[in-house]
């Protein structure tokens, strides 16, 4: 699953992500990977990966301290690819509500991250997803592909539409654990997954390869 020319990918190290696992997974599929919070490196890389674990509010605080909000916004304004993973996906939405506390997110997409209503929480383990037929992120993967999830919160509704027929509509992938929730999004230069591709074996490696090939 290598590439003819290595793409430079920065795993953004703002204190709230499994950066070593992400580094290994990206290197496995041929990327030239750097773990850093350096502003210039993050701005200039071919791709920026934003991981995230823990509380929504803590991730937002850590991101702000590392100027991550500005970096993500500026990269996307210039059409430079960004990918969020787990809470790194959740913070891309408008707000998060945990234990009754509301925290403002990056607001790249409208929507609220709220508690997952299921018999067993957290949702921890392998699950399948419902991806659009023309998804680039899931290209080459069959409907039975399984991905590794660890989360207690999720986005339950997708509200963003595109009124311009010349633009590719956002591609939203869903999964179910007790209830249906957003499992991944492809929206121009911004892609994200609720699950952990870096912990999802060959299926995760194919997915990361698909992302890197768009850089």
Catalytic residues: 86, 196, 198
How many whole angstroms separate alpha carbon 49 and alpha carbon 173? 19
Grouping H, G, I as helix, E, B as strand and the rest as coil, residue 42 is helix
Query: Which class for 63: exposed (0-12), middle (13-18), buried (19 or more C-beta within 10 A)?
Result: buried
Phi-psi region of 203 (alpha: psi -120 to 50; beta: other; left: phi over 0): alpha
Phi/psi at 97 (5° precision): -125, 115
Q: How far is CA 171 from CA 54, 115, 201, 203, in A?
A: 26, 23, 23, 19
How many whole angstroms separate alpha carbon 89 and alpha carbon 183? 9
Peptide bond into 122 cis (omega under 30): yes
The CA-based angle 107-15-214, given to 5 degrees, is: 55
């Amino acid at each position: 699953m290598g590439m003819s020319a290595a793409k430079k990918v920065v795993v953004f190290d703002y204190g709230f992500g499994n950066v070593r696992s992400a580094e290994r997974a990206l290197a496995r599929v041929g990327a030239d990977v750097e773990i850093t919070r350096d502003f210039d490196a993050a701005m200039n890389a071919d791709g920026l990966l934003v991981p995230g674990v823990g509380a929504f509010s803590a991730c937002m605080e850590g991101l702000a301290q590392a100027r991550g909000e500005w970096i993500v916004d500026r990269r996307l304004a210039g059409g430079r690819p960004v990918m969020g993973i787990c809470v790194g996906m959740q913070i891309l939405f408008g707000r998060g509500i945990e234990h009754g506390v509301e925290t403002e997110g990056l607001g790249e997409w409208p929507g609220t991250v709220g508690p997952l209503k299921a018999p067993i929480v957290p949702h921890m383990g392998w699950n399948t997803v419902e991806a659009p037929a023309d998804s680039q992120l899931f290209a080459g993967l069959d409907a039975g592909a399984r991905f590794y999830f660890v989360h207690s919160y999720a986005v339950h509704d997708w509200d963003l539409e595109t009124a311009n027929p010349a633009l590719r509509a956002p591609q939203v992938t869903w999964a179910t654990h007790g209830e249906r929730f957003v499992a991944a999004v492809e929206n121009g230069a911004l892609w994200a997954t609720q699950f952990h591709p870096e912990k999802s074996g060959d299926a995760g490696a194919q997915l990361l390869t698909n992302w890197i090939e768009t850089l």
